[in-house]
Amino acid sequence: MRNIYMIYGVIVLGLLGMAEYRGFSLASVNEVKNVPRSVRDNPGSYRSVYAVYHHYTGGK
């Protein structure tokens, strides 16, 4: 019983260490590849995944 817990704890701490070192985060971020350099000249041409989000959804 205690051996199982020890292995479990080591795995938890191991995952924690990895997460901290690699900079994991809970935020939901989309990765987009191959954004062309022309975005710097024309920022409006970038089609964001969130571009459809035009309305406000929260609070008063």
* Per-residue binding letters, 8-37, with other proteins (x by CB under 8 A): xx--xx-xxx-xxxxxxxxxxxxxxxxxxx
Question: Is 39 within 8 Å of 56 (Cβ atoms)?
Answer: no
- The per-residue b/e assignment along 31-60, b for 16 or more CB within 10 angstroms, e otherwise, is eeeeeeeeeeeeeeeeeeeeeeeeeeeeee
39 lies in the site for other proteins, by CB under 8 A: yes
7 lies in the site for other proteins, by CB under 8 A: no
The footprint of other proteins (CB under 8 A) covers 1-2, 5-6, 8-9, 12-13, 15-17, 19-37, 39-40, 43-44, 46, 48-51, 53-54, 56-60
